[in-house]
Amino acid sequence: MPVVAVVVALLAGLAAGAAARPLIFARAVPRGEPARTACPSCATHYPAPGLRGRLQAVTGRCPACGEKTGPPAGLPEALTGAAFAALAATGASGWLGAAQYWLAACGVALAIIDLKVQRLPDILTLPASTGTILLLAGGALAGEPGSFSRVLAAAGVVTAAYLILVVTGLGMGDVKLAPAIGALLGWSSWTVAVRGVLAGFLLAAVTGFLLLLIRRASAKSRLAFGPYMIIGALAVSALRI
């Protein structure tokens, strides 16, 4: 993969992360609380209007009072940029590549929110699923190698499986994100779909074990599962392992 493609993807990811920052700020609140639109300390609107306000928002601090506001400085930008660059390095292209980039953009915002307040808001999970399926439909119409019928079937199967797992403590936000995970993985094969879903559970299990090992969590601690769903699905889809 040409270096220029990776660089362009990195820059696009930085821009996508910056665009998602206000949404992350607004929705990273406990379940049941209204979305935020202003600095909690001084009530200054966040981000401030205009390009200057957007650039100031990247610092993660309120431009009026200097208090920490929104995600840490550069976090969503850096994570989205890195995700886009990694996808470009694997050769992501065409409609499937567009679906991978879309899920990565939505996924970084969802992961940050989930790690912060352990919820996956509908305003991101529903577009993630709808956009992924529509982009793969474009791939089917364009004749790209893959199966759109399997996309729909895998989206349904994975969602049903996650819905069953709600009784074990899985959140409904994870269920609403499941169609995107199943659809993206189902495009390639059922084998990829199974491996991608299992990769999410494996990553979560390893992380949970390490947190227990270093005493950063207890057996009763809740683990945000969304980030592992997204990372597992994107990794297996991009590498087709």
Question: How distant, in Å, are the alpha carbons of 24, 120, 125, 142, 170 from that of 113?
Answer: 6, 7, 12, 35, 16
Q: How many CB atoms lie within 10 A of CB 95?
A: 20
Task: Report pTM.
Answer: 0.94
**In a shared domain, residues 208 and 97:** yes
pLDDT by 10s per residue, the chain, length 241: 579 999 999 999 999 999 999 999 999 998 889 999 888 888 888 887 877 787 788 888 888 888 888 899 999 999 999 999 999 999 999 999 999 999 999 999 999 999 999 999 999 999 999 999 999 999 999 999 999 999 999 999 999 999 999 988 899 999 999 999 999 999 999 999 999 999 999 999 999 999 988 888 777 788 899 999 999 999 999 998 7
Residue where a domain terminates, one of 91, 114, 138: 91
**In a shared domain, residues 206 and 241:** yes
pLDDT recorded at residue 194: 97
**In a shared domain, residues 150 and 240:** yes
**In a shared domain, residues 147 and 102:** yes
Q: Tell me which residue range forms the domain holding 220.
A: 93-241
pLDDT recorded at residue 46: 84
**In a shared domain, residues 54 and 136:** no
**In a shared domain, residues 77 and 191:** no
Please, where are the H alpha helices in the chain?
A: 3-27, 50-57, 75-89, 94-117, 122-141, 148-164, 172-186, 190-213, 226-239
**In a shared domain, residues 30 and 137:** no
Residue where a domain terminates, one of 66, 91, 116: 91
HSE of 149 in the Cβ direction (CA atoms, 13 Å)? 0
Long-range contacts of 51-56 (CB under 8 A, 24+ apart): 54/18
Question: How many domains, the chain?
Answer: 2
**In a shared domain, residues 175 and 63:** no
**In a shared domain, residues 113 and 10:** no
pLDDT recorded at residue 1: 56
**In a shared domain, residues 155 and 232:** yes
pLDDT recorded at residue 222: 84
pLDDT recorded at residue 169: 86
Residue where a domain terminates, one of 91, 118, 144: 91
C-alpha angle 78/73/27, rounded to 5°? 90
**In a shared domain, residues 75 and 114:** no
Q: Are 146 and 188 in contact (CB under 8 A)?
A: yes
**In a shared domain, residues 40 and 115:** no
pLDDT recorded at residue 39: 87
